[in-house]
Amino acid sequence: MRWEEEGMKQNAFIMGNKLMGSNPHAFSLIMPSIPITHTQTPYVTGTSVLGIKYKDGVLIAADTAGSYGSTTRYKSVERLRPIGQNTLVGATGEMSDFQTILQILDRLIITNAMFDDDNTLGPPDIHSYLNRVMYNQRNKLDPFWNTLMLGGVKNGVKYLGNVTMLGLHYVDDHVATGFGIHLAQPIFRNEWNEDMTLEQGTKLLEKCMLVLFYRDRSAINKMQIANITEDGVKISEPYALQTKWDYEAFSNPTVGNEGSW
Amino acid sequence: MSTIGTGYDLSVTTFSPDGRVFQIEYATKAVDNSGTVIGVRCKDGVVLGVEKLISSKMLLEGSNRRIHAINRHAGMALAGLAADGRQIVTRARTEAANYLSFYGEDVPIKELSNRVAHYSHLCTLYWWLRPFGSSSIIGGYDMDGPQLYTIDPSGVAYRYYGAAIGKGRQAAKTEIEKLRLAQMTCREGVMAVAKIIYGVHDEAKDKSFELEMSWVCDESNREHQRIPTDLLMEAKAMARDAQEDDLDAF
**Predicted confidence (pLDDT) per residue in A139-190, tens digit:** 988 999 999 999 999 999 999 999 999 999 999 999 999 999 999 999 999 9
Which residues in chain A are contacts of B69 at CB distance < 8 A?
A: 113-114, 116
Residue B1: per-residue pLDDT = 47
B65 touches chain A (CB under 8 A): yes
- Which of A103, A107, A116 lies closest to B69 in CB terms? A116
CA distances from A55 to A52, A148, B6, B178 (A): 10, 23, 77, 56
d(Cα A244, Cα A246) in Å, to the nearest integer? 6
Chain B nearest-CA residue for A109: B72
d(Cα A34, Cα A212) in Å, to the nearest integer? 42
Chain A nearest-CA residue for B68: A114
B68 touches chain A (CB under 8 A): yes
Chain B nearest-CA residue for A108: B97
Q: What is the pLDDT of residues B187-201, one digit of tens each?
A: 999 999 999 999 999
Q: b/e per residue, A84-104, with b = 16+ CB within 10 A?
A: bebbbbbbbbbbbbbeebeee
Interface test with B, best of A116, A117, A118 (most B CBs within 10 A): A116
Average pLDDT, chain B: 92
> The whole model's pTM is what?
0.87
CB contact under 8 A, B97 and A103: no
B226 touches chain A (CB under 8 A): yes
A195 touches chain B (CB under 8 A): no
**pLDDT bracket for residue B202 (50, 70, 90):** confident
Any idea which of A18-22, A51-55, B182-186 has the lowest mean pLDDT? Answer: A18-22
- Which of B93, B101, B226 lies closest to A114 in CB terms? B93
- Which of A103, A107, A114 lies closest to B69 in CB terms? A114
Report chain A's terminal Cα–Cα distance, integer Å. Answer: 44
Residue B243: per-residue pLDDT = 85
Q: Which residues pair with B148 in a beta bridge?
A: B139
d(Cα A7, Cα B124) in Å, to the nearest integer? 57
pLDDT of A26 above 90: no
A117 touches chain B (CB under 8 A): no
